[in-house]
């Protein structure tokens, strides 16, 4: 299964991708996670990307295409992948198309996770990650339970807010999404690949809608 998850920051792509890994046995390829790992490791890429990310802007297309090309060449991506956060521009979408044609691995579906702006703001401003176990919580809608739900990996959740989840930066990210990424809805729609799901509601409800959309997408390619 080769899938692109499309949607604004905070639309739940990462959360749903985690579920799809289990269901389809293919890796999640999150460019945001790959960049954050580079920042944490202090690599040359990480040093270059950090300021751009913290400002809510996009890392340049050439760099992103290089990252994706390398990641999709890894053995675990041979059976499929879930792209989360990529492509984010028209140039990236064209580059992905060319790469997948080269690999003879066309996309099966692009799913748009649709969430209204007010809900996005709540999700993004409330998002916290646990430094110890890596889980993502939301101070408004999904605070950590007591005891913490991580099977003893951490005794007390040590929550931090992503630097780009500050209120000032969130506005910029939503603006960049509307300008650079939203046009991809039409791009993939015109190719008959797009499925749109209502991504508001609890995680399980959205997951069920996503599964139904992907099941419906399957016969189209056989």
Residue that the structure tokens 């690949």 belong to: 193
Q: Is 88 in the site for ligand ADP (CB under 6 A)?
A: yes
Q: Is 93 in the site for ligand ADP (CB under 6 A)?
A: no
CB of 220 to ligand ADP, least distance (A): 26
Q: Which of 12, 27, 85, 157 binds ligand ADP (CB under 6 A)?
A: 85
Catalytic residue (one of 50, 127, 128, 195): 127
Tell me how many degrees the CA angle 128-65-190 measures, rounded to the nearest 5.
90
Q: Is 32 in the site for ligand ADP (CB under 6 A)?
A: yes
Q: Is 56 in the site for ligand ADP (CB under 6 A)?
A: yes
Whole-number Å distance between alpha carbons of 145 and 143: 6
Q: Which of 3, 4, 26, 58 binds ligand ADP (CB under 6 A)?
A: 58
Note if the bond before 87 is cis, omega within 30 degrees.
yes
Catalytic residue (one of 88, 123, 128, 209): 88
Left (φ > 0), alpha (ψ -120 to 50) or beta: where does 67 sit? alpha
Q: Which of 53, 120, 130, 210 binds ligand ADP (CB under 6 A)?
A: 53
Of 44 and 215, CB closest to ligand ADP? 44
Q: Which residues pair with 83 in a beta bridge?
A: 4, 29
Q: Which of 97, 41, 88 is nearest to 182 (CA)?
A: 88
Q: Is 35 in the site for ligand ADP (CB under 6 A)?
A: yes
> Is 88 a residue of the active site?
yes
> Is 195 a residue of the active site?
no
Q: Which of 39, 26, 97 is nearest to 68 (CA)?
A: 97
Q: Is 38 in the site for ligand ADP (CB under 6 A)?
A: no
Note if the bond before 147 is cis, omega within 30 degrees.
yes
Q: Write out the residues near ligand ADP by the rule CB under 6 A.
A: 9, 31-32, 35, 52-53, 56-59, 64, 85-86, 88, 92, 164, 173
């Amino acid at each position: 299964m080769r899938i692109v998850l499309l949607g604004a920051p905070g639309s739940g792509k990462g959360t749903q991708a985690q579920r799809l890994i289990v269901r389809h046995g293919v890796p999640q390829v999150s460019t945001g996670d790959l960049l954050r790992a580079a920042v944490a490791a202090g690599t040359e890429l990480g040093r270059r990307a950090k300021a751009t990310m913290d400002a809510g802007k996009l890392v340049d297309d050439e760099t992103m295409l290089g990252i994706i090309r390398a990641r999709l060449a890894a053995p675990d991506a041979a059976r499929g992948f879930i792209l989360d956060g990529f492509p984010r521009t028209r140039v990236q979408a064209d580059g992905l198309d060319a790469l997948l044609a080269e690999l003879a691995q066309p996309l099966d579906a692009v799913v748009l996770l649709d969430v209204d702006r007010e809900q996005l703001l709540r999700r993004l401003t409330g998002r916290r990650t646990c430094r110890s176990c890596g889980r993502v919580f939301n101070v408004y809608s999904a605070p950590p339970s007591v005891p913490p739900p991580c099977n003893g990996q951490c005794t007390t959740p040590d929550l931090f807010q992503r630097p780009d989840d500050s209120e000032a930066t969130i506005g910029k990210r939503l603006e960049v999404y509307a300008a650079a990424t939203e046009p991809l809805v039409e791009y993939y729609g015109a190719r008959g690949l797009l499925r749109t799901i209502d991504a508001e509601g609890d995680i399980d409800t959205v997951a069920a809608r996503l599964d139904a959309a992907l099941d419906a997408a399957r016969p189209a390619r056989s």
